[in-house]
Chain A
Amino acid sequence: MDDPYKVLGVARDAAAEDIRKAYRRLAKQWHPDTNPDKPGAEARFKAISAAYALLSDPELRARFDRGEIDAAGAERAPAGGGWRDWAETGRGARYRSQPGGFEDPGGGFDEADLEEFLARAFGTRTGAGARPRGPMRGADIRATLRLPFLDAARGAVRTVTLPDGRTVQLTIPAGTEDGTVLRLAGQGMPGEPGAPAGDLLAAVEVEPHRFFRREGRDILLELPVTLKEAVLGARIEVPTIAGPVTLTIPPRSADGSRLRLRGRGVQGGHQVVVLKVLVPTGVEPELEAFLKTWTPRDRTNPRAGMLDL
């Protein structure tokens, strides 16, 4: 079949209105009733009608322009033409693998084929081949529950909406760790008559916290302190998962010192505060002047032995 644009004598980017006009003009000209003596008139008229049928339908026209269908409206092989393009379509099922030799494929793709594919691909049994069995327990519902760090550490109650519209209350015990699976027995899908419902399984994903980290039952907190606080000692308000508490920084605390707040972790654990001593980065003339004249009493070289490897 010829290019429908040529048949109608219009440009490829012609407006719908122009296509309609061209069609009307040509259809009148080549109508078989008005051309009884011209032998080719009927074929020409049919070609014109077919071309118009294709180009007047915006969707068909677009598909033709993209090369997905030919002028007769038949599907074309997808671009590329490789086996993969066909193999994954329904028509590719003509070449489905045959267990135990090649039987007669017996025509096209139908629902039974799909069931068989699914059964073979996922090892499920469907349809006539199903094994006799008792009433099936309901399926488990599996969900992922993202929790803020503090909710997981302190414990929380969440209302969860299930796919079937039910809502259930999930109690998250204090100290729940990332990856914990909470099981609510009987809250899954209903079973067949005489069989129990499935369970609701919620895998907890704990979001990281800006300041706190979990290490077993302990909560780790990195605490920035100034040089002055580290040298002279201080009493500082620090956050814990249960609210701020006052922490005593002993004088002469080194960078990286670990201070323990007893019982401030989860499930009897502690909060461990790791000091991070900040050296002032702004201009501090007095400090600099002092350090220039300062001779430490402890004269040991902190890098002693590092060079003799």
Chain B
Amino acid sequence: MITLEEVAGRFPGLAPQEVVLWIERRWLRAERAADGGTWLLTEVDVARLSLLVELRVTLDLDEEAMPVVLSLLDQLYDARRALRCLLAALEDQPEALRRAVLDAAAWQARD
């Protein structure tokens, strides 16, 4: 866990108030510190913050476009995560079952 002030220092030109705004919009899921003062970020949140900085600051994406872009990105990664789960689950199956599933998938693809 790292505080908002600490992490904002890693991105020059990024005002902590801007990040608070992102948290309020739920683009970033930081948590309030126990004393209610600052915000705490996990490593995932820090990576998310770099994504937001990249989109909003580096690429200067429109404020209105941000929710759309984020929603599409998140959906894409949902799908990729789900696919990974499936493939990982498949990896653990007996060879015959794996082949049957892959056959069936190839079969679906040819329709």
Binding site for B on A (CB under 8 A): 75, 77, 81-98, 102, 105, 114, 117-118, 120-122, 141-144, 161-163, 165, 201, 203
| Chain B stretch 65-86: residues in CB contact (< 8 A) with chain A | 71, 73-75, 77-86
Contact B103 A121 (CB under 8 A): no
Contact B77 A94 (CB under 8 A): no
Q: What 6 pairs across the A-B complex have the smallest Cβ distances?
A: A97-B74, A163-B100, A83-B51, A87-B77, A102-B26, A117-B82
Contact B50 A81 (CB under 8 A): yes
* Most central of A91, A95, A203 by chain B CB within 10 Å: A95
Main secondary structure of the interface of A (DSSP, over half): mixed
Which residues of chain B are near A143, meaning CB under 8 Å? 100, 103-104
A113 smallest CB distance to B (angstroms): 9
Contact B103 A88 (CB under 8 A): no
Give bound CA distance, A95 to B72, whole Å.
12
Count of chain A to chain B residue pairs whose CB atoms are closer than 8 Å in the complex = 98
A106 smallest CB distance to B (angstroms): 10
Contact A86 B47 (CB under 8 A): yes
Give bound CA distance, A249 to B79, whole Å.
64
Contact B29 A117 (CB under 8 A): no
Q: Is B32 an interface residue (CB 8 A)?
A: no
Which residues of chain A are near B50, meaning CB under 8 Å? 81-83
Contact B77 A121 (CB under 8 A): no
Contact A114 B44 (CB under 8 A): no
Q: Is B56 an interface residue (CB 8 A)?
A: no
Contact A142 B107 (CB under 8 A): yes
Q: Is B96 an interface residue (CB 8 A)?
A: yes
Give bound CA distance, A163 to B102, whole Å.
12
B103 smallest CB distance to A (angstroms): 5
Q: Is B34 an interface residue (CB 8 A)?
A: no
- Contacting residue for A88 out of B84, B104, B106, B110, CB 8 A: B84
Which residues of chain A are near B104, meaning CB under 8 Å? 141-143
B20 smallest CB distance to A (angstroms): 16
Give bound CA distance, A215 to B69, whole Å.
51
Known: A141-B100, A163-B97. A201 touches B107 (CB 8 A): yes
Which residues of chain A are near B84, meaning CB under 8 Å? 88
